[in-house]
């Protein structure tokens, strides 16, 4: 994701910074936190707790190691977000970057609906593939090819309509162009 011809890691870092700057927060929840890309933008003076969910314990351990300055407030939870009855903590902002592609809009909407009382604001990033496949071409393409089996193409309007059906109204959208012709679309919602 960090290769110059892909630059997804760099773009997600900037987007996470912007998501955190756009919302007042004491508690932040990040679904699909992986190794914690962007956590350096957390304002340690105003945050109470950062909750990070991921299915991969190794990613969570890498996150712990990368951000020792957040250990007092970082709560990492290893779980499969595909289980609709996952209880999310109360948070001022829920950040969901590139996780909806793995869950699908229906399962994601059910998860958010199940946790509606705990979420005040929601900021999502989805990837549009245009003419490219979900996995970008690089020397790592073969290793990442299994991801295509669990990937869902996400339609921005479908996501907006699905979340509106459970009371989350789209506030803003932003588009981030990537060097390989793909785009990241950020959509922010409020209850």
**Per-residue pLDDT tens digits for 32-71:** 999 999 999 999 999 999 999 999 999 999 999 999 999 9
For all residues of the chain together, what is the average pLDDT?
Answer: 87
**What does the pLDDT read at residue 3?**
38
Nearest Cα residue to 13 out of 138, 93, 172, 125? 125
CATH number of 8-190, picked from 3.50.50.60, 3.40.220.10, 3.40.50.12280, 3.40.50.150: 3.40.50.150
Beta bridge partners, 169, equal 190
H/E segment holding residue 27: strand 27-31
| For the chain, percent of residues with pLDDT exceeding 70 | 84
Quote the pLDDT of residue 154.
93
Find, among 150, 43, 50, 40, the residue nearest to 102 by Cα: 150
DSSP 168: P
Residue 5 confidence (pLDDT): 41
What confidence score (pLDDT) does residue 144 get? 40
Q: What is the pLDDT of residues 78-124, one digit of tens each?
A: 999 988 689 999 999 999 999 999 999 999 999 999 999 999 999 99
CA dist 159 and 50 (Å) reads 25
Question: pTM for this structure?
Answer: 0.86
Question: Residue 75 — φ and ψ, nearest 5°?
Answer: -115, 110
Q: Give the number of residues written for the chain.
A: 191
**Cα distance between residue 16 and residue 14, in whole Å:** 5
> Is residue 6 pLDDT above 50, yes or no?
no
Per-residue confidence (pLDDT) for residue 140, from 0 to 100:
45
């Amino acid at each position: 994701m960090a290769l110059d011809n892909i630059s997804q890691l760099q773009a997600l870092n900037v987007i996470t910074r912007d998501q955190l700057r756009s919302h007042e927060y004491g508690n932040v929840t990040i679904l699909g936190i992986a190794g914690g890309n962007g956590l350096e933008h957390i304002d340690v003076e105003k945050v109470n707790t950062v909750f990070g969910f991921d299915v991969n314990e190794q990613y969570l351990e890498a996150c712990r190691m990368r951000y020792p300055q957040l250990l007092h407030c970082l709560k990492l939870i290893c779980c499969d977000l595909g289980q609709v009855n996952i209880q999310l903590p109360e948070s001022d902002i829920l950040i969901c970057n590139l996780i909806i592609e793995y869950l699908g809009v229906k399962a994601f909407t059910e998860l958010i609906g199940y946790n509606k009382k705990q979420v005040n604001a929601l900021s999502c990033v989805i990837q549009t593939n245009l003419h490219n496949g979900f996995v970008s071409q690089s020397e790592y393409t073969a290793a990442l090819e299994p991801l295509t089996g669990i990937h869902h193409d996400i339609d921005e309007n479908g996501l907006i309509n699905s979340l509106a059906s459970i009371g989350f109204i789209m506030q803003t959208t932003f588009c981030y162009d990537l060097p390989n012709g793909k785009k990241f679309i950020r959509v922010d919602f409020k209850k």
